[in-house]
Amino acid sequence: MSGDTLGGGITDTELRERFGPVFEKIARGALDREADRGLPYDEVKALRGAGFGRVRVPVEFGGLGATLPQFFRLLIALAEADSNLPQLWRGHIGFVESRLVHEDREVRERWLRRISEGAVVGNAQSEQGNSSFWQHATTVRPAGSGDDDWLLSGRKFYSTGSLFADWIQTTATLDAEHSADVLVPTSAPGVRRIDDWDGFGQRLAGSGTTIFEDVRIAPEDVAVHPVGQLPGTTLHAVFQLVHLATLAGVARAAVRDIVAFVNQRGRNLSNPLYPRPGLDPQVQQVVGRVRSKSFSASATTLAAVDELDRVHRAQLAHRATPELFDAADLAAFAAQTAVIELVLDLTTEIFEVGGASAVTERFRLDRHWRNARTLASHNPVIHRQTIVGDAALNGTSPREWVTRTWRTARSNEASGR
């Protein structure tokens, strides 16, 4: 699909020319940021300046008009430069996709223009302790006394990208039967963003805590909906595919770094028949194997993106069906198993070519496995495998599988369990 555009958008060549130099600079500083735990504020600023946040926005609203396959190829390249960057943009990416197909034209166009002007949206959805996706300790309520505003209060545990954002998209409980999607300006009084993410990987993605203390929210930034209902959406697939694209980028970076490591070695103690490790057939075999796994991880991810693109185009043409949304989810969830296995195997296997010198701190080759393992732990693959298997065996819709969590939570609540 090279050069494929939608609505007169940007070409692949133009994307490479625009973002290639930015990605190269990001890659040059990645190792030092990892060593020093330096949050990538400058790198996010550079991506903003190059228009990364508006890559998918149509040209008519000031964006670059890239297709989904184009964008995900770009995302893999960014992940190869630094895997923290695609993850911290994940909330923004999902938000843009939601606005591209939003049913309210005024909302759609307002946000697409705002994003084209440079606005970045972070994500603060998950909480600790809630038993269902729809059950939030975070609450939103009318301000009252004739005031049309709302008040938001609560604490979110995972807030990926929100440290770098202008807005935060979050979820809150209104009452027993209704939740709300809430958009919060990060500059609003009562918003606190804390860099307390302590995972051993993806340390620089800004995935810490966000606290809301009676934050005043404008009426147009609160969307109330019944709990336990999932409208037709591609967002589950989009969010998972961002992780898979990031994993594919991690794989490419691991292969790049192990090739550089082998080529800088001047001796081959284990097999002196070959004076340089790069001439050793066994070393070549390992490098060939991990490069093949990297290729397969990217190819699998992009195959699932093609399915997502098919559904997105149907949405734009008002031809999307529940079966199409299920197809996008199942493609992403099936790809999840394959990509995770490939990349975790690959990031372990790279050490086979180096002996003890490969584990020294100056190379930090371990970061590839740590980052891959952390990414792979999002949206546990064991559940996604069950969804794929249940669909194959019993025809169960992925949406039905997810909504069971709410019915189970309500049933447990009613029975006192």
Q: What distance in Å separates the CA atoms of residue 32 and residue 45, rounded to the nearest whole number?
A: 18
Residue 131 has pLDDT above 70, yes or no: no
- What number of other Cβ atoms are within 10 A of residue 101's Cβ? 16
**Encoding tokens for residue 180?**
């709300």
Check: CB of residue 121 under 8 Å from CB of residue 95: yes
| pLDDT computed for residue 185 by the predictor | 97
Place of tokens 């010198």: 357
CA–CA distance, 161 with 87 (Å, rounded to integer): 7
CB 9 within 8 A of CB 65: yes
Q: What is the pLDDT of residues 379-411, one digit of tens each?
A: 889 999 999 999 999 999 998 887 777 777 677
Q: Which of 137-141, 346-350, 396-400 has the highest mean pLDDT?
A: 346-350
Compute the distance between CA of residue 3 and CA of residue 67 in angstroms, rounded to an integer: 10
- pLDDT > 60? residue 3: no
Alpha carbon distance 57, 112 (integer Å): 6
Domains of the chain: 12-119 (1.10.540.10), 124-226 (2.40.110.10), 235-409 (1.20.140.10)
**pLDDT, tens digit, 9 for 90 and up, residues 66-108:** 999 999 999 999 999 999 999 999 999 999 999 999 999 999 9
Q: Does the pLDDT of residue 215 top 90, yes or no? A: yes
Residue position matching structure tokens 């959406």:
233
DSSP 363: T
Instruction: Provide the token pair at 90.
Output: 């994940």
Q: Which band of pLDDT confidence, cut at 50, 70 and 90, is reported for residue 6?
A: very low
Q: Rounded to whole angstroms, what are the CA distances from 23 to 50, 52, 294, 302?
A: 11, 11, 19, 20
Task: State the first-to-last Cα distance of the chain, in angstroms, to the nearest integer.
Answer: 52
pLDDT band at residue 147, thresholds of 50, 70 and 90? Answer: confident
CA 74 → CA 14, 23, 47, 99, 281, distances in Å? 11, 10, 12, 20, 33
Q: Return d(Cα 120, Cα 45) in angstroms, integer.
A: 10
Residues 214-221 have a mean pLDDT of: 97
CA distance 417 to 411: 9
| 273-331 confidence digits (pLDDT tens) | 777 888 889 999 999 999 999 999 999 999 999 999 999 999 999 999 999 999 999 99
Percent of the chain with pLDDT over 70: 94
| pLDDT at residue 358 tops 90 | no
Q: pTM of the predicted model, to two decimals?
A: 0.94
Among the residue ranges 14-23, 140-149, 264-273, the one predicted with the least confidence is 264-273
Q: Is 40 exposed, middle or buried (0-12, 13-18, 19+ CB in 10 A)?
A: buried
Q: By the 8 A CB rule, do 78 and 40 touch?
A: no
